[in-house]
């Protein structure tokens, strides 16, 4: 699975000084530098270099300063990574190309050019916001079947955890969960019921969510996130 490539590529980018998180905004990984504004790197992962990987990178390129594609290298040296036409295509498109061995070593096959001009600042801004708001790195890049642990879902789970002991007032939750009012009102996941004005309780679906994603009492900060 593509998730097997995530940690080697993450470690590679972290050594370059980036903070890396998986499955953000439809991208297998997003990495931010510590600069202000940050350099935004998008990574796409596949088990083998193919046309679909190139097309995914093309789709993401407008929101990134750098795009890297990564795949396993063929043990026999007969994969696309050995095809000069494929490497030249990456160069022409401005994509970096990483090969990952069975041992988890990462080799730069094609370095990306210097940071390209940004063409989709709104999408880029959304990626940065989600990256910064998401606590830790809860989603492995390359995941396709499990629900993505977005910043919004993390805050919704924090609300559910706070309600697990009984009804709570929205105003009592806002100190730790600034978006609590919006999350409880919109109830995207069906985890909450309004008992009376300004007071909410946890539903059976919410309790099931806490069993699936056990929570510690935690605070959630930041502006409104996207589910």
Residue 40 maps to which CATH number?
A: 3.40.1350
Residue 117 covered by a domain: yes
Same domain flag for 16 and 104: yes
Task: List the structure tokens of 78.
Answer: 């007969």
pLDDT value of residue 119: 72
3-class SS string, 58-117: HHHHHHCCEEEEEEECCCCCCCHHHCHHHHHHHHHHCEEEEEECCCCCEEEEECCCCCCC
Q: Which of these three, 78, 99, 133, is where a domain ends?
A: 133
pLDDT value of residue 222: 37
pLDDT value of residue 216: 59
pLDDT value of residue 166: 94
Same domain flag for 114 and 184: no
Residue 188 covered by a domain: yes
Same domain flag for 122 and 19: yes
Number of domains composing the chain: 2
Range of the structural domain that residue 64 is part of = 3-133
Residue 222 covered by a domain: no
Same domain flag for 77 and 182: no
Same domain flag for 117 and 179: no
The CATH number that applies at residue 159 is 1.10.10
pLDDT value of residue 190: 96
Report residues of the chain scoring pLDDT below 50: 217-225
Q: Which of these three, 106, 133, 160, is where a domain ends?
A: 133
Q: Which long-range contacts (CB under 8 A, 24 or more apart) does 172-178 make?
A: 176/218, 176/219, 176/220, 177/219, 177/220, 178/220, 178/221, 178/222, 178/223
Same domain flag for 53 and 120: yes
Q: Which of 127, 98, 121, 125 is nearest to 111 (CA)?
A: 98
Residue 218 covered by a domain: no
Same domain flag for 16 and 102: yes
Per residue in 48-83, pLDDT (tens digit) is 999 999 999 999 999 999 999 999 998 777 788 889
Q: What pTM was computed for the model?
A: 0.76
């Amino acid at each position: 699975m593509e998730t097997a490539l995530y940690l080697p590529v993450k470690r590679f980018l972290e050594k370059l000084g980036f903070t890396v998180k998986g499955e953000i905004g439809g991208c297998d990984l997003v990495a931010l530098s510590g600069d202000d504004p940050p350099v935004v790197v998008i990574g796409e992962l596949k088990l083998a270099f193919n046309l679909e990987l190139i097309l995914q990178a093309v789709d993401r390129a407008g929101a990134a300063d750098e795009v890297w594609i990564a795949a396993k290298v063929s043990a026999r040296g007969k994969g696309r990574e050995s095809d000069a036409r494929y490497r030249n295509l990456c160069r022409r498109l401005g994509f970096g190309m990483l090969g990952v061995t069975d041992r988890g070593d990462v080799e730069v096959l094609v370095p990306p050019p210097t940071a390209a001009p940004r063409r989709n600042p709104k999408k880029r801004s959304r990626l940065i916001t989600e990256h910064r708001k998401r606590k830790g790195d809860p989603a492995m890049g390359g995941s396709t079947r499990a629900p993505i642990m977005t910043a919004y879902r993390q805050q919704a789970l924090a609300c559910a955890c706070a309600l697990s002991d009984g009804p709570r007032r929205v105003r009592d939750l806002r100190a730790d969960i600034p978006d609590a009012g919006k999350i409880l009102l919109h109830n995207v996941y069906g985890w909450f019921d309004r008992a009376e004005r300004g007071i909410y309780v946890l539903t059976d679906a919410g309790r099931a969510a806490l069993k699936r994603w056990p929570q510690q009492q935690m605070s959630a900060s930041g502006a409104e996130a996207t589910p």
